[in-house]
């Protein structure tokens, strides 16, 4: 800690890079938090044919997203900044939209998840490009892993819905 009480971060990324990347990661974190809540909503409210399989798959998705949320928040801290934690901040910053608590049939549920995966994939591609321009391979590595996972999940949902 320096004399001003600020934690010094020396991971060979300048402060502008760390600040810009942290801001983008907080926007992504906001979308992940909305997606996490949405997956729980669908998990609890899905009904219809193949309920058991879809119910279990939605749980797998929210477990993965929960772990990814933690990883993103810890990366923001690694960069020397604070992750957003207030639900109001997530709602204000997220581009993903919440859904109501009501009955969702299986096909509708899977289409909602597929649409959100698509938005997250687009956001990830933009952030990956940004972090690579700054030479932040640590953040890129985290994000590329999730990009790969979300792309695979999207393919599987498209195959299921066809």
pLDDT at position 6: 52
Q: Does residue 2 belong to any structural domain of this protein?
A: no
- Chain centre to alpha carbon of residue 80: 20
Q: Does residue 126 belong to any structural domain of this protein?
A: yes
Q: Does residue 49 belong to any structural domain of this protein?
A: yes
Q: Does residue 45 belong to any structural domain of this protein?
A: yes
pLDDT at position 2: 45
**Residue 28: which of 109, 95, 77, 101 has the closest Cα?**
95
Residue 39 domain boundaries: 15-161
pLDDT at position 9: 79
pLDDT at position 8: 75
Instruction: State the CATH number of the domain containing residue 112.
Output: 1.20.1260.10
Q: Does residue 7 belong to any structural domain of this protein?
A: no
The number of domains in the chain is 1
pLDDT at position 11: 85
Q: Does residue 41 belong to any structural domain of this protein?
A: yes
| DSSP 8-class letter at 82 | -
Conformational region of residue 13, where left means phi above 0, alpha means psi within -120 to 50, and beta covers everything else = beta
Helix 106-133 × helix 51-78 angle, to 10°: 20
Per-residue model confidence as pLDDT tens for the chain (162 residues): 444 445 677 788 999 999 999 999 999 999 999 999 999 999 999 999 999 999 999 999 999 999 999 999 999 999 999 999 999 999 999 999 999 999 999 999 999 999 999 999 999 999 999 999 999 999 999 999 999 999 999 999 999 999
Distance between CA 128 and CA 3 in Å, rounded?
A: 34
């Amino acid at each position: 800690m320096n004399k001003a009480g600020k934690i010094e971060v020396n991971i060979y990324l300048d402060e502008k890079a760390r600040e810009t990347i942290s801001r983008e990661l907080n926007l992504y974190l906001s979308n992940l938090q909305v997606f996490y809540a949405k997956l729980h909503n669908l998990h609890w409210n899905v009904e219809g044919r193949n309920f058991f399989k879809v119910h279990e798959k939605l749980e797998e998705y929210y477990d993965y997203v929960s772990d990814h949320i933690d990883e993103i928040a810890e990366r923001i801290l690694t960069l020397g900044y604070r992750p957003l934690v207030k639900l109001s901040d997530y709602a204000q910053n997220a581009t993903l939209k919440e859904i109501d608590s009501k009955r969702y049939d299986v096909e509708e549920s899977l289409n909602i998840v597929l649409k959100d995966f698509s938005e997250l994939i687009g956001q990830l591609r933009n952030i990956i490009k940004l972090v690579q321009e700054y030479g932040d391979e640590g953040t890129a590595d985290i994000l590329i892993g999730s990009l790969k996972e979300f792309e695979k999940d999207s393919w599987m949902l498209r195959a299921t819905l066809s």
